[in-house]
Amino acid sequence: MATNPFACGECHLVLGDGVDQCPRHPSAKVSSDWTGYVIIIQPERSEIAARLKVDQPGKYALKVNIR
Ligand SMILES: [Zn+2]
C-alpha cells in the first residue's frame, strides 16, 4: 500500500495525514496516486499556481491520477 497522503483531484491540494477529503471540495475525488510536489506560497505570482488554477497558498501535487 502506498503511504502517500491523498491529493484532491479538483485543486490538487495535498491533504494531511489521514485526511481523505479536500476541505474545499468535499465531493471531489482524492487519490494517493500523484506526482510532483510543489509548495505554493504566493499564488498570484506563481506560474505553476496559474497552471494548476490554484488561488490559495499550500502544498500541491502537479499531477493527480484519478482512477
Ligand atoms: Zn480540492
Ligand 1 being an ion, which residues bring their Cβ within 5 A of it? 8, 10-11, 13, 22, 24-25
In this model, does residue 1 exceed pLDDT 70?
A: no
Task: Decide the pairing of beta strands 7-8 and 58-64.
Answer: unpaired
C-alpha 19 – ligand 1 centre gap (Å): 12
pLDDT, tens only, 11-62: 999 999 989 999 999 999 999 999 999 999 999 999 999 999 999 999 999 9
Give a yes or no: residue 2 inside a domain.
no
Query: Which residue's entry shows cell 500541491?
Result: 60
* pLDDT score for 42: 96
- Burial string for 20-33 (b: 16+ CB within 10 Å, else e) reads eebeeeeeeebbbe
Question: What residue numbers bound the domain in which 22 lies?
Answer: 7-64
Structural domain total, the chain: 1
C-alpha 60 – ligand 1 centre gap (Å): 10
Give a yes or no: residue 38 inside a domain.
yes
The pTM assigned to this predicted structure is: 0.88
C-alpha 1 – ligand 1 centre gap (Å): 23
Q: What pLDDT band is residue 2 in, cutting at 50, 70 and 90?
A: low
